[in-house]
Amino acid sequence: MADSSDAQSLEQAPVYQPPSRLQTGEGGVPVAHIKSLEEYWTMYEQSIRDPDTFFGKMAQDELSWSKPFNQVRYGDFKRGNVSWFLDGQINVSYNCVDRHALTNPDRVAIIWEADEPNQHTHITYGQLLEEVSRIANVLKKYGVRKGDSVAIYMPMVPEAVYSMLACARLGAVHSVVFAGFSADALRDRILDAGCKILITADQGKRGGKTIQLKKIADEALGACPSVQRVIVFQRTGDPNVPFYPPRDVWWHNETANQRPYYPPEPMDSEDPLFMLYTSGSTGKPKGVVHTTAGYLLGAHITCKYVFDLHEGDVHGCMADVGWITGHTYIVYGPLSNGATTVLFESVPTYPNASRYWEMVDKHKITQFYTAPTAIRALRRLGDDFVSSYDLSTLRVIASVGEPINPEAWNWYYTVVGRERCALVDTYWQTETGSHIISPIPGAVPTKPGSATLPFFGIDPAVLDSQTGQELQGNNVTGVLAIRSSFPSVTRTVYDSHIRYMDTYLKPYPGYYFTGDGVTRDQDGYYWIRGRVDDVINVSGHRMSTAEIESALILHPACAEAAAIGVPDDVTGQAVVCFVTLKPDITQDENTIRTAFVSTIRHHIGPFASPKRIIICGDLPKTRSGKIMRRVLRKIAGGDVTLADLDDEQALKNKLGDLSTLADSNIIGSLVKKVIAH
């Protein structure tokens, strides 16, 4: 959380004006949808004062309805019964596919950039309609009906997008599970959602490596009786991939036999569109549910205004469809706007650190969206990887997932954006469905490190975390909450509305609680401070300390575990685990550490691997037995030196009040362990 020295540095933060060419159209670029700060404020104030008129008009103008809604808004955060566009009927797949295919069938919908750099494919809106329809027909044939859950465990191939849109077309609720999750994690998600069908691939390709998706899926399915059918897309065609008919069917055989049209099912505005599991404060991931019309409107209008999307634009979002950023800004937002979206199968450093920029040049990308962790990693490798490429098509460059530090911001702005692009730092969450705080490219001056001002309809409040009182005015620091409902906010947690209420709406009654700390500076700009709960954000991947601890405890050698996040120069945060061993464990520490890492990879996935595992004799606890994480965080972060151990005052300054610590001798041994390790 910010202290007074931070407040001072915020006051001195440099301000960058929106690039004038976006406001004037100089050089032939499209003039921005919103061209001045005044225009932004006028629209923003209307969206807050009269959301019914503002969003009613947006929904009518921007989306295609099969039956008009007759009430814009109902319910609130107090009661947890938020709903939008009541009585309306709409199909998301129709909005993202048909309405463009019917008028512009040859417009490119997807550019698929394969793992190998010399391979890419264009898929037009006309083709997209056929492909989505074929797989929708396959799903129908295998008994998928409106309201059923379908699991999607796919690499970054167009068939992943077809599958999502096919579910939306027939009203099935998709649950995309990131292809980096382990068999156990996939199993838990399939079981929780009661999925009937799994769509997967034989293998995935990423950075030249092969991922055994089907093998992992088979392991997960051993414990998933609800899954009757597995549709397998052949990504590599490796003949050794296991295949078990009649449960398993091949994507190519099945789709070849289906008609390339499937009529979109009219869906109620509030019918669920998808669920996406995300980590919270407890070990069990939550299936965050998004509904049809509100989510689509949020995705559509943030894409249009925050990325300033115009006809003919090529939108390059580098996320994975397994996360919310991929859902909203690779699939639903760009396609609803009729843009061309880039689907990137590889990693930024394969075969070398020019991959992103080579792609921008080759595909003439106009909006480029990535995470600070990628920017930091690429910045370290030097400007030479960027400078030889033509990046002149870029107008908006964007960041998401964690706070972007000013050094990374400046590099992105100067070396990639060449000081002629708007850099938008977009703050949002799986639960909000679309951006909630972000600059608008042609309108809002930016400050490196701040997500700036709220999007339309977002009414942020800074609360005192203890009392829940609103901190009025500027220059305040507290926790970030949202005052009133907005179209794309999550409506429930799958099969667990109590958990939804407890997590988001009960902590501060009447508000949606984000879980993030925030400062509102002297200009009313928001600076996100990171999570105030037990969520760790590693390279933009969100995980909970409890999830990691629950995985560790499953290992027979582990007695107790505490996972914490520590700052990391590249990944933002990194996971450090403190573990105590059961008695009679005789293996050496290195062997045990390796075993613990593989336990975490097995139960969650490789991306959750800790940076360090520290095996210790005991954990610092309060007299009532609660682990003092704040102490562990400081020690793991290297704040405490050996010299401090003999200086009570220094120790107190660095670790805070230790009077509740049950055994004060423990600090010395932990510090020595961390330093020796």
**Interface positions with ligand WTA (CB under 6 A):** 278, 323-325, 400-403, 425-430, 451, 514-516, 528, 530-531, 537, 542
Task: Decide whether 456 or 513 has the Cβ nearer to ligand WTA.
Answer: 513
Asked if 141 and 117 count as a contact pair (C-beta separation under 8 A), the reply is no
Q: How far is the CB of 529 from ligand WTA (least distance, A)?
A: 8
Task: Decide whether 131 or 402 has the Cβ nearer to ligand WTA.
Answer: 402
Burial class (CB in 10 A: 0-12, 13-18, 19+), 308: buried
Task: Decide whether 162 or 409 has the Cβ nearer to ligand WTA.
Answer: 409
The 3-class secondary structure across 141-196, one letter per residue, is HCCCCCCCEEEEECCCCHHHHHHHHHHHHHCCEEEECCCCCCHHHHHHHHHHHCCC
DSSP β-ladder status, 314-317 and 286-291: unpaired
What's the CA gap between 598 and 182, in Å, rounded? Answer: 11
Q: Measured on CA atoms in the order 140, 143, 149, 152, is the torsion positive or negative?
A: negative
Tokens of 247: 């449960």
Place of tokens 């293996």: 587
Task: Decide whether 436 or 561 has the Cβ nearer to ligand WTA.
Answer: 436
Task: Decide whether 338 or 572 has the Cβ nearer to ligand WTA.
Answer: 572
Q: How far is the CB of 12 from ligand WTA (least distance, A)?
A: 20
Asked if 298 and 434 count as a contact pair (C-beta separation under 8 A), the reply is yes
Q: How far is the CB of 441 from ligand WTA (least distance, A)?
A: 15
- Outline where 268-371 has alpha helix (H): 292-306, 324-326, 333-336, 355-363
Task: Decide whether 238 or 569 has the Cβ nearer to ligand WTA.
Answer: 569
Task: Decide whether 400 or 628 has the Cβ nearer to ligand WTA.
Answer: 400
Q: How far is the CB of 333 from ligand WTA (least distance, A)?
A: 13
Q: How far is the CB of 288 from ligand WTA (least distance, A)?
A: 8
Q: How far is the CB of 449 from ligand WTA (least distance, A)?
A: 9
Residues in the chain: 677
Q: How far is the CB of 451 from ligand WTA (least distance, A)?
A: 5
Task: Decide whether 323 or 385 has the Cβ nearer to ligand WTA.
Answer: 323
Residues 241, 246, 252, 256, Cα dihedral to 10°:
170
Asked if 297 and 55 count as a contact pair (C-beta separation under 8 A), the reply is yes
What's the CA gap between 645 and 196, in Å, rounded? Answer: 58
Asked if 439 and 422 count as a contact pair (C-beta separation under 8 A), the reply is yes
Q: How far is the CB of 445 from ligand WTA (least distance, A)?
A: 17
Q: How far is the CB of 323 from ligand WTA (least distance, A)?
A: 6
Angle between helices 51-62 and 37-49 (to 10 degrees): 110
Contacts (Cβ under 8 Å, ≥6 apart) of 411: 375, 379
Which residue's CB comes closest to ligand WTA? Answer: 430
Task: Decide whether 373 or 426 has the Cβ nearer to ligand WTA.
Answer: 426
Per the DSSP assignment, residues forming a β-bridge with 257 are none
Main-chain dihedrals φ then ψ at residue 197, nearest 5 degrees = -135, 145
Asked if 379 and 147 count as a contact pair (C-beta separation under 8 A), the reply is no
Q: How far is the CB of 543 from ligand WTA (least distance, A)?
A: 10
What's the CA gap between 418 and 382, in Å, rounded? Answer: 15
Tokens of 652: 């107190």
Task: Decide whether 535 or 619 has the Cβ nearer to ligand WTA.
Answer: 535
CA 419 to chain centre: 27
Q: How far is the CB of 521 from ligand WTA (least distance, A)?
A: 15
Asked if 130 and 138 count as a contact pair (C-beta separation under 8 A), the reply is no
Main-chain dihedrals φ then ψ at residue 542, nearest 5 degrees = -95, 130
What's the CA gap between 553 and 284, in Å, rounded? Answer: 14
Half-sphere exposure of 268 (CA within 13 A, CB side): 10
Task: Decide whether 65 or 511 has the Cβ nearer to ligand WTA.
Answer: 511
Q: How far is the CB of 33 from ligand WTA (least distance, A)?
A: 21
Task: Decide whether 18 or 401 has the Cβ nearer to ligand WTA.
Answer: 401
Q: How far is the CB of 284 from ligand WTA (least distance, A)?
A: 16
Task: Decide whether 47 or 544 has the Cβ nearer to ligand WTA.
Answer: 544
Asked if 132 and 253 count as a contact pair (C-beta separation under 8 A), the reply is no
- Outline where 501-587 has alpha helix (H): 545-553
